[in-house]
A and B are shown apart, each in its own frame.
Chain A
Amino acid sequence: MASASDSKWQKDAADQNFDYMFKLLIIGNSSVGKTSFLFRYADDSFTSAFVSTVGIDFKVKTVFRQDKRVKLQIWDTAGQERYRTITTAYYRGAMGFILMYDVTNEESFNAVQDWCTQIKTYSWDNAQVVLVGNKCDLEDERVVSAERGKQLADQLGLEFFETSAKENINVKAVFERLVDIICDKMSESLDSDPTLVSNTTKATRLTENPNMQSNSCAC
């Protein structure tokens, strides 16, 4: 199994048929469903068994958004405190964050503020964040209402979704929205500071070589 999945991810990783590459990070308290969320999105699979993520993991998925192929490298982080040094090291490369809490777990919701601080501390300042309340299928056990989630998101200036990895509710929407936000941010940033663009790249000196550009944008 290991070799099969190895070759699969190598395939994904080596796939050069994309326009942009975005790195995303899923964070939140332990057992809110980050890994399930990622598995649902990347593999369309779900298991209720809880296996704590060891440190970090990631999956690669290419999506087609706004006429562009976007390769997503989605990092799944361990929620447990003991891995914090490792996980925070990956904040810096992430363009987008999925900050997740569990609607059946008050504590995970209360920690959202702290996670936000973590993002502010370790990530690039223009990183985009989406707040996600997971496990919304468990209506009976819900302790955090959608309104409270929305309210907190507004307060923090984030977009908000309630999702269920188990029932596959809003999972895709979250990623797509995040990609869209990043895409928008991207064009904005280029327009707002074009001089930055031209000045910096002028410094690069290169050798002659044709570009083995594979089928980019065959849209």
Chain B
Amino acid sequence: MGEFGSSGSLDRWVCPNDRQLALRAKLGTGWSVHTNRLASFQRGENLSLEEQEQIMRVINRAEYIDHVEQERIGRLVEKLDNMKKNAIGNGSTQCILCGDEFGLLGASPTYCDDCKKAVCSKCGVDTFSSARQPLWLCKICAETREVWKRSGAWFFKGLPKYTLPEKKLEGGKHSTRMKPQLRGSVRGRPGSIRDSNYTWHRARGSSSTGTASYGESSEQESSDSSEDEISISRHKSRKNHESESDNISIGSARSSHYDHYTRTERKASVTSTSYGGGHVSATESSRGDDLHDETDSERSSTYQFSRDGSHMSQEHFTPAVGEEHAEDIDRAVNRYVKSTKPANDECDEAQVSSPESDGTSLGSLEFSLLYDSANNALHCTIARAKNLKAMDSNGLSDPYVKLHLLPGANKSTKLRTKTIHKTLNPEWNESLTYYGITEDDVLKKTLRLSVLDEDAFGFDFIGETRVPLKRLKPHQTKHFNVHLEKQLPLEKDDDLIAIRGKILLSLKYATAKQSLLVRIIRCAELAAMDSNGYSDPYVKVYLKPDKDKKSKFKTTVKKRTLNPEYNEEFTYDIKHNELAKKTLEITVWDKDIGKANDFIGVTRSH
């Protein structure tokens, strides 16, 4: 029964087989049994054609799922193997992964609980076993465990069947050309450069989607914007510690009981803006000092609003990192940025001209950019894409292009083309324009063009390319034909960085009046939350903990500005000794009519 080949019609004249004969012997009926009756009995056990068809349909469906699953596992396995290939240390005197020598740069080895190799704190993952025991794993072993879980290998005691992705994505050749300089000159690590964007940087325990800020920035074309990102990533690494150290503020010795830290707001799906680096705060605070003479118990400081990416994007290799290490890297990367800057332009050309060098299998994108400095407009004409990677099961994609100004976070920097359905060679010929792009923006910002595949629900990421706007000459159309690069899925990238503006405020404790005076002076370079490229910001102040929200104060709303001036002062009556228990929460909001006000940023001090 159940054999698919036999359709149930046994030849009734065939001599019975041994089994049948044996059965007959048991029945004791001798030869008198009718063979054809036996056959018809068997036929009942067999499956009808319709049944077989139905089952085959189910099996085909299952095969499809298995196929998709095998590809998924193949990708997991491949990624893990890339990590292993890129591990360059020896695991005893060097970190198994990054090859950092122990004892020289202050890195101290820990030993992976799985492979027992020495790992530096950057390349290890602090996690828990099922018995809630702390577990220290090198990133390879952490990823291995993850692959075992994700693939089901844990269950089958070995990796199930998998298919490796077929196309050889030469993902990194272009960027690797720059990497030797990084490794060689800065980190002193020659060799083993290929493809490092897909290596252990990203290999964070549970999600494997985090980007290392290090890897990220080295992929970039080291423009101004990448510098921005680097400096920001340092903030981030500190924030992840949630240390209450003076992160951005300039603390004066006199008021040392005020401790400042920025709080990262964990919200996914919000894009981010970043403005410059930490250096701004110094200038800002000195300005503040000028404004306020009564400095006895007063201090002025700059805060940078930050809204972090999703929980995941925090996994940028930093949580376990000591601050010195993070700074080491930043320095190194900054040096790298400087050292490679002159080479940039050639690289760009190379990217355009050498089709094989980059992401062949993702496809290429043709577009042109024109910056009209008279009207502060950036015209982006998206012409077409060729040989895009197929994302849908029908072997085609439904591509569209999304534009995004980096660093830049909000709705106002996103533009997109129409979707061309079911093609790998879409022709958009669409012009999209950014208005209000200043010369300053051109120097700082990078245009990111992502090609996405539209699905009924959401989208798939096909590839992206980035153009630092400073490469554009005003009033001169520049044509590009670039090969798309593999990148992180969009949302993560968007959420990467999050400096959302700065606020200048002063705090004063008036001993005579027993009150805390909070003066909101101004904000600068706030994130634009409205589609006109501006916000309508106001500042809200709470003194927490505060049960009835009585401590709320609001400034007036300043319309259509990213640099509002308030000069408004609020007073809290509070005893000096209670002050230590209180936290001042300052939030900046964008006033919207008819809908919830947008949250721009938060900072806290206590």
Residues of A bordering B, CB below 8 Å: 9-11, 13-14, 16, 19-22, 54-58, 60, 67, 73, 82-86, 95, 124, 126, 184-191, 194-198, 200-202, 204-219
Number of inter-chain CB pairs below 8 Å: 182
Does A209 contact B58, Cβ atoms closer than 8 Å? no
Chain B positions within 8 Å of A214 at CB level: 460-461, 489
| Beyond known contacts A13-B65, A187-B129, A190-B154: 16 more, CB 8 A cutoff | A11-B456, A14-B392, A19-B149, A20-B152, A54-B51, A55-B58, A58-B58, A73-B62, A83-B2, A191-B131, A196-B157, A198-B115, A204-B81, A208-B171, A211-B78, A214-B461
Tell me the smallest distance from the CB of A151 to a CB of chain B, in Å.
29
If A201-B77, A204-B159 touch, whether A186 touches B154 (CB-CB below 8 Å) is yes
Residues of B bordering A, CB below 8 Å: 1-2, 45, 47, 51, 54-55, 58, 61-62, 64-65, 68-69, 72, 75-82, 84-85, 113-115, 129-131, 135, 141, 144-145, 147-150, 152-159, 164-165, 167-172, 194-195, 197-198, 206-209, 268, 310-312, 392-393, 456-457, 460-461, 486, 489, 491-492
Does A54 contact B55, Cβ atoms closer than 8 Å? yes
Q: What CA separation (Å) do A20 and B145 show in the bound complex? A: 12
Q: What CA separation (Å) do A107 and B567 show in the bound complex? A: 82
Tell me the smallest distance from the CB of B563 to a CB of chain A, in Å.
34
Q: What CA separation (Å) do A207 and B194 show in the bound complex? A: 12
Does B310 contact A218, Cβ atoms closer than 8 Å? yes
Tell me the smallest distance from the CB of B131 to a CB of chain A, in Å.
7
- Chain A facing B: main interface SS: mixed
Does A210 contact B486, Cβ atoms closer than 8 Å? yes
Q: What CA separation (Å) do A190 and B2 show in the bound complex? A: 38
Q: What CA separation (Å) do A217 and B69 show in the bound complex? A: 17
Does B152 contact A54, Cβ atoms closer than 8 Å? no
Does A198 contact B114, Cβ atoms closer than 8 Å? yes
Q: What CA separation (Å) do A212 and B157 show in the bound complex? A: 25
Q: What CA separation (Å) do A124 and B153 show in the bound complex? A: 12
Q: Which residue of A lies closest to B172 (CB)?
A: A210
Q: Which residue of A lies closest to B74 (CB)?
A: A206
Does A198 contact B141, Cβ atoms closer than 8 Å? yes
Tell me the smallest distance from the CB of B275 to a CB of chain A, in Å.
26
Does A208 contact B82, Cβ atoms closer than 8 Å? yes
Does A207 contact B2, Cβ atoms closer than 8 Å? no
Q: What CA separation (Å) do A58 and B158 show in the bound complex? A: 25
Does B55 contact A56, Cβ atoms closer than 8 Å? yes
Q: What CA separation (Å) do A9 and B150 show in the bound complex? A: 21
Most buried by A among B62, B170, B310: B62
If A201-B80, A215-B209 touch, whether A13 touches B68 (CB-CB below 8 Å) is yes
Chain A positions within 8 Å of B154 at CB level: 186, 189-190, 197
Chain A positions within 8 Å of B81 at CB level: 204-206
Does B144 contact A198, Cβ atoms closer than 8 Å? yes
Chain B positions within 8 Å of A202 at CB level: 84
Q: Which residue of A lies closest to B146 (CB)?
A: A19
Does B54 contact A54, Cβ atoms closer than 8 Å? yes
If A190-B148, A213-B209, A214-B489 touch, whether A55 touches B72 (CB-CB below 8 Å) is no
Tell me the smallest distance from the CB of A12 to a CB of chain B, in Å.
9
Q: Say which residue of A19, A212, A219 sits within 8 Å of B486 (CB atoms).
A: A212
Tell me the smallest distance from the CB of A1 to a CB of chain B, in Å.
14
Does A124 contact B76, Cβ atoms closer than 8 Å? no
